[in-house]
């Protein structure tokens, strides 16, 4: 695919012509937001655990469909991102669903290697929960995080080396 122009939302997918077509039809006619993105929820195909939430532009959505490997738009890097291109933790898409108004995608995946999906080294990007004590009211400013995953599945430094961390402050 080298040298090919990336697909655009207007050429890669069906145009949106009616509510009936979008909600009840068989045309893939995604609705990208003003930045050209749609939300993607990615879950483990076997356990159903949420692995990550990201975004796709038209090119990422088209490449995911074409290759059956998850591609995203990296907001921090401002580029197309094939999940696992650096780490080898490729997400193989088992099933792709789109919501009723076609502005959000759900991917069910098997992840290669250790099965980790988080660049921090954990299996899921949702490796912490917000502690919500049942018997007391707390201020959001005092909320604390509790680790749900007790160990990393890989060492990010060993896998990524000097590749810049995508987390933005």
pLDDT of residue 69: 98
pLDDT of residue 11: 57
Distances (CA, A) of 144 to 128, 129, 132, 139, 162: 10, 8, 8, 10, 31
The per-residue DSSP string of 146-166 comes to EES--S-SS-HHHHHTTSPP-
CB-CB neighbours of 122 under 10 Å: 22
Reduced to 3 states (helix: H, G, I; strand: E, B; else coil), residue 5 is: coil
* CA 49 from centre of chain: 13
Q: Evaluate whether 139 touches 131 at the Cβ level (below 8 Å).
A: no
Integer-rounded Cα Rg, in Å, for the chain is 18
Which of these, 163, 166, 154, 157, lies nearest to 89 by C-alpha position? 154
Mean pLDDT computed over every residue of the chain: 90
CATH code reported for the domain at 30-158: 3.10.20.810
pLDDT of residue 80: 97
Domain boundaries of the chain, sorted by first residue? 30-158
pLDDT of residue 89: 95
pLDDT of residue 153: 92
pLDDT of residue 163: 84
pLDDT of residue 78: 93
* Segment 125-157, tens digit of pLDDT: 999 989 888 888 888 888 888 899 989 998 989
* pLDDT by 10s per residue, the chain, length 169: 334 444 444 458 999 999 999 999 999 999 999 999 999 999 999 999 999 999 999 999 999 999 999 999 999 889 999 999 999 999 999 999 999 999 999 999 999 999 999 999 999 999 998 988 888 888 888 888 889 998 999 898 998 888 888 777 7
In this structure, the strands spanning 38-44 and 79-82 are unpaired
């Amino acid at each position: 695919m080298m040298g090919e122009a990336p697909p655009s939302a207007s050429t890669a997918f069906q145009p949106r012509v009616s509510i009936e077509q979008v909600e009840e039809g068989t045309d893939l006619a995604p609705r990208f937001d003003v930045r050209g993105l749609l939300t993607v929820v990615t879950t483990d195909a076997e356990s159903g655990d949420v692995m990550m939430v990201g975004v796709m532009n038209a090119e990422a959505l088209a490449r995911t469909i074409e290759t059956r490997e998850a591609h995203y738009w990296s907001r921090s890097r401002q580029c197309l991102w094939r999940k696992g291109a650096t780490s080898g933790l490729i997400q193989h898409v088992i099933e792709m669903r789109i919501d009723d108004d076609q502005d959000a995608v759900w991917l069910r995946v098997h992840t290669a290697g250790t099965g980790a999906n988080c660049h921090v080294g954990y299996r899921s990007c949702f490796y912490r929960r917000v502690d919500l004590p049942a018997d007391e009211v707390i201020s959001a400013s005092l909320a604390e995080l509790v680790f749900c995953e007790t160990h990393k599945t890989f060492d990010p430094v060993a896998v990524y080396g000097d590749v810049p961390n995508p987390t933005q402050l």
